[in-house]
Amino acid sequence: MTAAVTVAQIREPAAMRAAVLESRAAGRRVGFVPTMGALHAGHASLVEQAALECDDVVVSIFVNPSQFGPTEDFARYPRTLAADAALLAPRGVRWIFVPEAADMYPPGAATRVVVDGPARRFEGEIRPGHFAGVATVVCRLFHCVPADVAYFGAKDWQQTLVVKRMVHDLGLPIEIAVCPTVREADGLAMSSRNAYLAAEERRRAVALHEGLCAAERLWQSGGAVAAVEQAIRDPLETRGIAIDYAAVVAADTLEPLPAAGAQPPAIAIVAGRLGGTRLIDNRLLPPRRRPG
Ligand code: PAF
C-alpha cells in the first residue's frame, strides 16, 4: 500500500520566509501560487505550471478580508482546507502557507497599497477598495513568500494588471506569470464562486462565455466596438443576467481603444450577476483582419 502524500503546512510568516530563502540559497527556483482556497482545476493548472518551471512550489491559502466589500461574500466564501490540501498533495507542492488574519494584518495595521491606473475602472468602480485589498495582501504575501515567480490566472485579468503594475512600481523582486483560464466543458470559466450557483443559474451562466465568443467572431469580421460590446451583452440579456459591464478595451491598460491609428491588443471583458453570485470572464481578441 502506498502512503498518502501530505504537504507541509506553515502558518508563521517568518518560518515561511526562512524556508523559501533557504531553498533559494541552495540554488532552487521557487514558484508561488497565491490563492484564497476552494481550489479547483484552474488553481491546479497554475500549480502544475509552477511545478513544471520550478524546483519548489508554495501555495498560500488565505481568505483575505480586506478585498471584500461590506456587502460581499467574505463570511460565506468556501473554506475547504482539507480538500484543498488533498488536491495539492499529488501536484508536487512543497509547502502550503496558511496564515491567520492576525499574521497578515497586525493589530492596528494602517498601511494599504493603493494602485491607480489599471485598478481604476470596471472591478475598481464596482468594488471600491477591492484592489487596494488585493494589492496590500499580495504585497504582504510576496514578503512572506519571497519566490522567484508568482502565478496568476488570466480569468482575473484586471487583477493580473494591478499586480504587475504594483510589482513594477515598487520594484518588487518577483516575476509574474499569467496562465490561461481553465473552463468547464460548456465554456464557463472555473471560479470558486461557481459553487454558489443553483442548477438553473449554472445553466444560464454559460452566457458569459457565449457572449465573449460571439464578440470575438464579430471582432474578427470587422465589427465596430459598440456592436462587439452588444454581442457580449445579447446572451446575458436573453438569459436575464444583470450586466455590470461588457466592454472591449486595450488589454494592457483597460482604457478605451484609440479611435484611429495603431491599435493595441484588445480584450473583451464581462461581469454579470445571477442572483447573489457575481461572475467575471474575458477573452483576448486577435489582431483585426480589417479595422471596424
Ligand atoms: O485571486 C485570488 O484568489 C486573490 O485575489 C489573491 C490573489 C489570492 C489575493 O487574495
Q: Which of 111, 144, 179 is the last residue of a domain?
A: 179
The angle formed by the CA atoms of residues 98, 99 and 105, to the nearest 5 degrees, is 155
Ligand 1 center from residue 33 Cα (angstroms): 9
pLDDT (0 to 100) of residue 2: 62
Q: Which of 129, 151, 179 is the last residue of a domain?
A: 179
Residues 202 and 166 in one domain: no
Residues 52 and 161 in one domain: yes
CATH number, domain containing residue 233: 3.30.1300.10
43 among known catalytic residues: yes
- Is residue 291 a part of any domain in this protein? no
- Is residue 93 a part of any domain in this protein? yes
Residue 1 reports pLDDT greater than 80: no
- Ligand 1, atom 5: closest residue by C-alpha: 134
- Is residue 227 a part of any domain in this protein? yes
Site to probe by mutation for ligand 1, drawn from 32, 33, 36, 166 as the one with most ligand atoms within 8 Å of Cβ, is 36
Q: Which three cell numbers stand for residue 287?
A: 489582431
Residues 171 and 216 in one domain: no
Residues 77 and 49 in one domain: yes
- Is residue 106 a part of any domain in this protein? yes
- Is residue 185 a part of any domain in this protein? no
pLDDT in tens, 179-191: 999 999 999 999 9
Ligand 1 center from residue 37 Cα (angstroms): 9
- Is residue 52 a part of any domain in this protein? yes
- Is residue 252 a part of any domain in this protein? yes
- Determine the atom of ligand 1 nearest the C-alpha atom of 138: 9
CATH number, domain containing residue 36: 3.40.50.620
Ligand 1 center from residue 223 Cα (angstroms): 35
Residues 237 and 115 in one domain: no
Residues 51 and 96 in one domain: yes
Residues 173 and 197 in one domain: no
pLDDT (0 to 100) of residue 5: 78
Structural domain boundaries enclosing 27? 8-179
- Is residue 275 a part of any domain in this protein? yes
Strands 266-274 and 277-285: antiparallel
pTM above 0.85, yes or no: yes
Residues 129 and 196 in one domain: no
pLDDT in tens, 35-68: 999 999 999 999 999 999 999 999 999 999 999 9
Show the DSSP H helices in the chain as ranges.
Answer: 13-25, 41-53, 81-88, 101-104, 123-126, 130-144, 157-170, 199-205, 207-220, 225-238
Residues 73 and 218 in one domain: no
pLDDT (0 to 100) of residue 28: 98
Residues 38 and 158 in one domain: yes
Q: Which three cell numbers stand for residue 21?
A: 530563502
- Ligand 1, atom 6: closest residue by C-alpha: 35
Ligand 1 center from residue 241 Cα (angstroms): 25
CA distances from 244 to 43, 124, 247, 261, 279 (A): 25, 12, 10, 29, 10
Count how many domains the chain has: 2
Question: What residues does ligand 1 touch, defined as CB less than 6 Å away?
Answer: 34-36, 64, 67, 134, 137-138, 156, 159
- Ligand 1, atom 8: closest residue by C-alpha: 35
